[in-house]
Amino acid sequence: MDIGLVGLGKMGGNMRSRLREAGHTVVGYDRNPDLADADSLASMVEQLPSPKVVWVMVPAGDPTRETVAALGELLGEGDLVVDGGNSKWTDDQANAAMLADKGVGFVDCGVSGGVWGLQNGYALMCGGSDEDVAKVQPALDALKPAEGGFVHAGRKPGAGHFAKMVHNGIEYAMMQSYAEGWELLEKVDLVEDVPAVFDSWRSGTVIRSWLLDLLVAAIEDDTHLDQLRGYADDSGEGRWTVEAAIDNAVPMNVIAASLFARFTSRQDDSPAMKAIAAMRNQFGGHAVHTEAPVGGDANPDVRGG
């Protein structure tokens, strides 16, 4: 299929490569002309056959809202916009309604996989009508892992991003558990090889996971995580998950506690938060905060996880 892709950063650029490797034609636009295939949104849209499909991979909030609004002026009846960023589901509902007035379809798609998605594929959680999802299905099939990893979460706008939001809330809690366990093993003068203990858990145990793999990779490179500050950013999804739990009277003790732990990390140099920061950097290439004289993160990016 032919598809436009707006936003060619760490995620978007890799997604373009994976789509092209699957034989699809991708016309990419980015504000950085060194990354772009088209020199404007309008030029990108002009190069696409109808019905046109444009996938948006820009930061959530105003950048996404402004991009979708601009596409609404450029696209026409039967075309489709896919928001693959980390937008809040309420934004999806507003964007879908705005585009529907112009006859343009809308699919919200939560994407997980970080910088490893190019190689392993991306987990995709979509919201939108059956007809709209079908228009982008060839791209979804190319982006997802070889087996599984895709769900049409619901037909109402926002279903995909709501599912991805809860996914990220669970991720917060899992990372916090691993991090606290790592801190305790480090603290007590008893276990001689903490990285080896974590590595042994990767096979045959009930707590094995990709996050555990990533933590092992991080502590093998920096055993005591001395190169990191105990500071962990949050990208918003954890907050939205807790807000939704409050709105719906759903007890969410562990996820809420893991979110608040990240806030605490901005007050103290927490050993556990060094592990959180290490895992975020491993799966998403997120900026880490280092001590002088290294100089801190040169290009902070707090999107995702």
Co-location of 106 and 142 in the same domain: yes
**Residue 258 counted as domain residue:** yes
CATH classification at residue 126: 3.40.50.720
Q: How far apart are CA 32 and CA 7, in angstroms?
A: 9
Residue 286's pLDDT is: 61
**Residue 289 counted as domain residue:** no
How many helices (H) and strands (E) the chain has is answered by 12, 7
Q: How far apart are CA 121 and CA 18, in angstroms?
A: 8
Catalytic annotation present for 171: yes
Residue 294's pLDDT is: 32
| Domain extent for 260 | 165-284
- Provide the domain count of the chain: 2
Catalytic annotation present for 274: no
Co-location of 91 and 170 in the same domain: no
**Residue 169 counted as domain residue:** yes
**Residue 19 counted as domain residue:** yes
Cα dihedral 140, 301, 90, 73 sign: negative
Co-location of 149 and 172 in the same domain: no
CATH classification at residue 212: 1.10.1040.10
pTM: 0.85
What DSSP assignment string belongs to 237-249? HHHHHHHHHHHTT
Residue 303's pLDDT is: 39
**Residue 304 counted as domain residue:** no
Co-location of 77 and 133 in the same domain: yes
Q: Which of 10, 144, 171, 237 is catalytic?
A: 171
Co-location of 176 and 274 in the same domain: yes
Element (H, E) at 127: strand 123-127
Low-confidence ranges of the chain (pLDDT < 70): 284-305
SS3 91: helix
Q: How far apart are CA 283 and CA 123, in angstroms?
A: 13
- Amino acid type, 84: G
Residue 296's pLDDT is: 31
**Residue 108 counted as domain residue:** yes
Q: Which of 164, 183, 186, 237 is catalytic?
A: 164
Compute the radius of gyration of the chain from its Cα atoms.
20
**Residue 223 counted as domain residue:** yes
Angle at 23 between CA 110 and CA 30, to 5 degrees: 55
Angle between helix 89-100 and helix 62-74 axes, rounded to 10 deg: 10
Co-location of 201 and 261 in the same domain: yes
pLDDT digits (tens, 9 = 90+) for 246-300: 999 999 999 999 999 888 878 777 788 888 888 888 876 665 565 433 333 333 3
